[in-house]
Amino acid sequence: MSGSRRSAAARSPAQRITATIIAKLEQGTRPWIRPWRGLQVTRPLRACGTPYRGMNTFWLWLMADAAGYGSPYWMTYRQCQALGGQVRKGETSTIAIFYKAYRKEVEGPGGENDTETRRVLKAYAVFNADQCDGLPSLYHPEHLLAPVEPEGRLERLDRFFAAIGATVRHHGCEAYYEPRFDRITMPPTGLFDTYDHYYATLAHELSHWTGHASRLDRDLKNRFGSAAYAAEELVAELSSAILGAELGLPVAHLDHHASYIASWLELLKSDDRAILTAAAKAEEAASLLMRLGGIEERPSSDEAGRFDAAA
């Protein structure tokens, strides 16, 4: 195990929670906002239906949002079994926290023995009901509204993205690529206003996907806020713009907040060749995706055939 992984595992519950909250805020996300559509917003609930309180409320909201869980219920492994359910194999627990009080003997002001009550923060493992099979229907609330598929779905684009062969899962409300698992996560299509926006977002994440060591081998292990991170985001932005031009997709909607713009400006001001390098890498990424998706590179002639938008 690497030193960084050992240190992460050794962090206290408070440090783990605080570090996660800071990371979300640095990315421009307020982790206590629940963006779900069609589900009643409620506080996280224990197996017995009692609401969690304090930091557990915001922490379990954040964990549910990140994983795409729709159920507000959280329970221990044994509680799940007692309800007739079973945590699915391979599921990972999160933590809930509580304060445990104890009395400690101390020396009083006059040298006499005395006791005082102290509290220590403890954590225990819990699973969301969506990670469990066999639970009563109570633990899986129905949507208040049926998911609505956005307009603009096109068979030719479905075929193109499917042909690339990337592993794409749909849950949560964030889009991102994980180099460790070589996997893209996309929000369900019902969370997009139009399929154009879904396709454009997928194109951006696929541009990151091209950087995996087995493909174009770009450095993807960069800390958020670093120059290398900004450079990779710029490559993905430019690559998705090229791909969008070939596929007829919008790119202006992508929500790059102020911190992205600031980091790009800092990068470009510090290195006048950075944009040239990013553009070259973006061209490589877009070309790979077009090749995998079945689009041949167009010659430079104005008479050359291009991807038929009517196909």
d(CA 28, CA 262): 13
Residue pair 128/69 in contact by the 8 Å Cβ criterion: yes
Least confidently predicted of 97-111, 125-139, 181-195, 244-258: 244-258
Residue keyed to tokens 């690497």: 2
Task: Tell me: do 129 and 81 sit in the same domain.
Answer: yes
Task: Tell me: do 120 and 164 sit in the same domain.
Answer: no
Which of 7-11, 35-39, 100-104 has maximum average pLDDT?
A: 100-104
d(CA 113, CA 265): 63
Task: Tell me: do 191 and 129 sit in the same domain.
Answer: no
78 against 238, higher pLDDT: 78
Specify which residues 126 forms β-bridges with: 94
Q: What is the pLDDT of residue 302?
A: 40
Task: Tell me: do 222 and 96 sit in the same domain.
Answer: no
pLDDT in tens, 140-195: 987 665 667 889 999 999 999 999 999 999 977 778 999 999 999 998 898 888 89
- The verdict on residue 310 lying in a domain is no
- The verdict on residue 265 lying in a domain is yes
Using H for helix, E for strand and C for coil, what is the string for the chain? CCHHHHHHHHCCHHHHHHHHHHHHHHCCCCCCCCCCCCCCCCCCECCCCCECCCHHHHHHHHHHHHHCCCCCEEECHHHHHHCCCEECCCCCCEEEEEEEEEEEEEECCCCCEEEEEEEEEEEEEEEEHHHEECCCHHHCCCCCCCCCCCECCCHHHHHHHHHHCCCEEECCCCCEEECCCCEEEECCHHHCCEHHHHHHHHHHHHHHHCCCCCCCCCCCCCCCCCHHHHHHHHHHHHHHHHHHHHHCCCCCCCCCCHHHHHHHHHHHHHCCCHHHHHHHHHHHHHHHHHHHCCCCCCCCCCCCCCCCCCC
CA-based nearest residue to 189, from 201, 178, 179: 201
∠ CA 156-162-166, rounded to 5°: 150
Would you place residue 303 in the very low, low, confident or very high pLDDT band (cuts 50, 70, 90)? very low
Task: Tell me: do 135 and 160 sit in the same domain.
Answer: no
208 against 254, higher pLDDT: 208
81 against 40, higher pLDDT: 81
- The verdict on residue 150 lying in a domain is no
Q: Print the domain residue range for 272.
A: 155-292
Would you place residue 209 in the very low, low, confident or very high pLDDT band (cuts 50, 70, 90)? very high
Domain boundary among 139, 172, 195: 139
pLDDT at residue 234 tops 60: yes
Task: Tell me: do 131 and 170 sit in the same domain.
Answer: no
Residues in Cβ contact with 11 at an 8 Å cutoff, skipping those fewer than 6 apart = 19
pLDDT at residue 307 tops 50: no
Share the mean pLDDT of the chain: 81
- The verdict on residue 3 lying in a domain is no
pLDDT at residue 71 tops 60: yes
The two three-digit tokens of residue 201, written as one number: 């977002």
- The verdict on residue 2 lying in a domain is no
Q: Which amino acid, one-letter code, is at 86?
A: Q
The two three-digit tokens of residue 114, written as one number: 């005395």
d(CA 249, CA 235): 17
Q: What is the pLDDT of residue 300?
A: 45
Q: Which amino acid, one-letter code, is at 177?
A: Y
- The verdict on residue 111 lying in a domain is yes
Q: Measured between alpha carbons, how far apart are the two ends of the chain, in Å?
A: 51
Task: Tell me: do 135 and 159 sit in the same domain.
Answer: no
Q: What is the mean pLDDT of residues 106-131?
A: 82
Task: Tell me: do 189 and 108 sit in the same domain.
Answer: no
pLDDT in tens, 244-288: 888 988 655 444 555 666 777 788 888 878 888 888 899 899 999
- Count of domains forming the chain: 2
Task: Tell me: do 130 and 184 sit in the same domain.
Answer: no
Task: Tell me: do 253 and 282 sit in the same domain.
Answer: yes
pLDDT at residue 240 tops 80: yes
Q: Which amino acid, one-letter code, is at 116?
A: E
∠ CA 268-271-275, rounded to 5°: 55
